[in-house]
Structure 1
Amino acid sequence: MKQRQKHKLADTAQQIVGGFLLAGPFVVTQEVWLLAQNMTMFHSVFLVGAIMAIGYGGLYGADNDRDPRTEAAFFGIPVRFISVMFVAFGSVGTLAFAITAPDLFLEELPPRTTLLVTFRALSVAAVFSVVGAVTTDSLF
C-alpha cells in the first residue's frame, strides 16, 4: 500500500496565486454582477457543482500522476481538493471585499438582497478562479 502524500503549504500557495490571477478580472466586471442579479438559487447551486467538478477533474482527471486515494484526506475527501475549493471561493470573496465591489455594483439593492447577489457573483467568478488554482497546482 502506498503512503499517503501530504498536502504542503507550498501547494496551497500555488493554488492561491492561480486563483487570484484568474479571479481578479471577473470580480471587477459589472457584467458579472448584473448576471448575478438575474440568477436564481438553482443557477447558484448548479455553478457550485460545476466548480467542484472542474476542481476535481482538473486535479485528478487531467493529471495522471495524481491519485486521490493516495493523498491525505479529511473525512475521505482529499485535502488538496478541499484546499482548491477554499482558494476558489476565498480568492473571489477576498477580492470582492477588498475592492468593495458589492458596494459599487449593488448600491441600490437592500442589504439582504445585496448579500444574496454577492454570493451569486462570487460563484460566477469562482468558475475562473478554480481553473487558475488547479492549473497552477498541476503545473508546479
Structure 2
Amino acid sequence: MKERRKHELADTAQQIVGGFLLSGPFVVTQEVWLLARNMTVFHSLFLVSAVMAIGYGGLYGADNDRDPRREAAIVGIPIRFISVMIVAFGSVAMLAFSITAPDLFLSDYSTPDRHFITFRAMSVAAVFSVVGAVTTDSLF
C-alpha cells in the first residue's frame, strides 16, 4: 500500500495565487454584479456545484498522477480538494469585501439583500477563481 500524499502549505499558496489572479477581474466588473442581481438561489447553487465539479475534475481528472484515494483526507474528502474550494470562494470573498465591491455595486439595496446578491456574485467569480487555483496547483 502506498503512503498517502500530504497536502503542503506550498500547494495552498500556489492555489491562492491562481485563485486571486483569475477572480480579480470578475469581482470588480459591474456586469457580474448585474448578473447576480437577476440570479435566483437555484442559479447560485448550480454555479457552486459547477465550481466543485471543475475543481474536482481539474485536480483529479486532468492529472493522471493524482489519485484522490491516495491523498490525505478528512472524512473521505481529499484535503487538496477542500483547500481548492476554500481558496476559490475565499479569494473572491476577500477581494469583494476588501475593495468594498458590495457597497459600490449594491448601494441601493438593504443589507440582507446585499448579502444574498454578494453570495450570488461570489458564485459567478468563483468559477474563474477555481480554474486559476486548479491550474496553478497542477502546473507547479
The TM-score range, normalised by the shorter chain, is over 0.9
Q: 2: distance between equivalents of 1:110 and 1:15?
A: 34
Which residue in 2 is equivalent to 1:52?
52
Q: Post-superposition shift, 1:26?
A: 0.1
Secondary structure at 2:4's aligned position in 1? coil
Which residue in 1 is equivalent to 2:99?
99
Residue identity opposite 1:45 in structure 2: L
In the TM superposition, 1:60-139 aligns within 5 A as: 60-139=60-139
Q: 1: distance between equivalents of 2:74 and 2:38?
A: 36
Residue-pair matches, total: 140
**1:28-51: CA deviation from partner (whole Å, max 9, x where unpaired):** 000000000000000000000000
Secondary structure at 2:7's aligned position in 1? coil
Q: Post-superposition shift, 1:54?
A: 0.0
Residue identity opposite 2:16 in structure 1: I
Identity of aligned residues (%): 79
Return structure 1 stretches of 4+ with deviation > 4 angstroms: none
Q: 2: distance between equivalents of 1:129 and 1:23?
A: 5
Alignment of 1:37 onto 2:37 = yes
Secondary structure at 2:10's aligned position in 1? helix
Q: 2: distance between equivalents of 1:106 and 1:99?
A: 13
Q: 2: distance between equivalents of 1:62 and 1:32?
A: 28
Residue identity opposite 1:94 in structure 2: M
Structure 1: 5+ residue runs without aligned partners?
none
Q: Post-superposition shift, 1:139?
A: 0.1
Structure 2-normalised TM-score?
1.00
Q: 2: distance between equivalents of 1:122 and 1:87?
A: 12
Structure 2: 5+ residue runs without aligned partners?
none
Residue identity opposite 2:106 in structure 1: L
Structure 1-normalised TM-score?
1.00
**1:9-66: CA deviation from partner (whole Å, max 9, x where unpaired):** 0000000000000000000000000000000000000000000000000000000000
**1:90-111: CA deviation from partner (whole Å, max 9, x where unpaired):** 0000000110000000000011
